[in-house]
Amino acid sequence: MVQRAMEFHDDVVAQGFRLDEVSYATLINGLCKTGDTRAALRLLRQIERPNVIMYSTIIDSLCKVKLVSDAYDLYSEMVARRIPPNAVTYNALINGFCIVGRFQQAVGLLNEMVLQCIDAEVHTFNILVEALCKEGNVKEAKNVFAVMVKQGLEPNIVSYSSLMDGYCLVKEVNKAKDIFNFMVQRGVTPDVQSYTIIINGLCKIKMVDEAWSLLNEMHSKKIIADTICYNSLIDGLCKLGRSFDAWKLVNEMNHRGIPPNVITYNPLLDVLCKSHHVDRAIALIKKIEEQGIQPNMYTFTVLMDGLCKVGRLKDAQEIFQDILIKGYNLNVRTYSVMIDGYCKEGLFDEALILMSKMESSGCIPDAVTYGIIIRALFKKGENEMAEKLLREMVARSLH
């Protein structure tokens, strides 16, 4: 469709005519949406009087593919041509700088907006607050939040949720709870996401009973908890060895029509494998596969680790070969588990061969991988090989 529109444009231009601003803006938007930003830029160069909409559309498109420097150059060009940027232009750039982690430039653009008396919306501030919180820079996020309030803007559920998430990320869950309570006092109704953030944060610091009471509060307020919310609590319970309570929640999910996924079952599988109930773990994997739930790399890694720890290396090898054939992207943890399995059986040659294969497949061994082999070699009195690997590890700055 866009291609046909461009052909029409070329025919019109060839006959000495020009399209109007709306038509050009529509064409540029179409090219950007189909990912052809360079063609949109070439078209912009042909327009006698481009406007802020055309520039902003291309700037936004460049930022989405992380070409933020190019986007900023275009912004500088429009300023030089006395085409005033608007809130859409700034939002695109601020978001772009946040995507590539250049937060100071993003904050600088927000300050520029304020100085230029361009009305920044709550959405503009939210972009920055969310990005800074995800980086763990909650202090700076709180400053941006304060500027938003000072500008007379009312923070919304996204603003509060981003701050809560930031505090939970740096394990300051009490501060996240304070934000939650303040939000309620301000008349902003919590949603499933804001509850889930606090539940997840509490579970991470082992306060699962308080998290569970929040889930019950959601039920009483007719807020329907989703799979993500339940998964946080199930994981927290399993980490504390409370798998019986975790299973109660899985049953509750099924009763309420909330579909469990592979992330729901992985902590339960982990508990079974760590308590050496590997046959029950295998049975559970078969059961979830019958339900149409596809196991992921974590599932297989946990199972292989469990099998290795009960001396069933051959079974672990079969699973390892199977996932290789099926084209799964094996990670460092998966390789390390198999290497550990070989070392436990004294099969050091196989362990070293697998580590070599691991590297050749583009998966670089980490300190854990090296540590497994080195410790096993020292234990067996293979000091020369252990020291060689230790020097190699240090040379790679993995200590």
pLDDT tens for 76-103 read 999 999 999 999 999 999 999 999 989 8
Task: Please state, as a whole number, how many other Cβ atoms lie within 10 Å of the Cβ of residue 206.
Answer: 11
User: Do residues 218 and 247 share a domain?
Assistant: yes
User: Do residues 256 and 361 share a domain?
Assistant: no
Among 8-12, 73-77, 188-192, 349-353, name the one with the lowest average pLDDT: 8-12
Average pLDDT over residues 141-157: 91
At which of 120, 135, 169 does a domain end? 120
Cα-based distances in Å from 333 to 174, 329, 343, 371, 392: 33, 11, 15, 13, 20
User: Do residues 287 and 211 share a domain?
Assistant: no
pLDDT tens digit sequence for 297-351: 999 999 999 999 999 999 999 999 999 888 888 999 999 999 999 999 989 889 9
Is residue 170 domain-resident? no
Q: What is the span of the domain harbouring residue 27?
A: 1-120
**pLDDT exceeds cutoff 70 at 58:** yes
CATH number at residue 221: 1.25.40
User: Do residues 335 and 320 share a domain?
Assistant: no
User: Do residues 5 and 116 share a domain?
Assistant: yes
Is residue 223 domain-resident? yes
Is residue 137 domain-resident? no
Residue 8: what pLDDT? 44
The pTM of the full predicted model, rounded to 2 decimals, is: 0.83
Is residue 167 domain-resident? no
CA atoms within 13 A on the CB side of 309: 15
Is residue 335 domain-resident? yes
User: Do residues 1 and 82 share a domain?
Assistant: yes
pLDDT tens digit sequence for 205-231: 999 999 999 999 999 999 999 999 999
17 — pLDDT class (breaks 50, 70, 90) = very low
Is residue 174 domain-resident? no
Find where tokens 């700088």 sit: 97
pLDDT tens digit sequence for 246-301: 999 999 999 999 999 999 999 999 999 999 999 999 999 999 999 999 999 999 99
Find where tokens 């291609």 sit: 3
Percent of the chain with pLDDT over 70: 95
User: Do residues 97 and 3 share a domain?
Assistant: yes
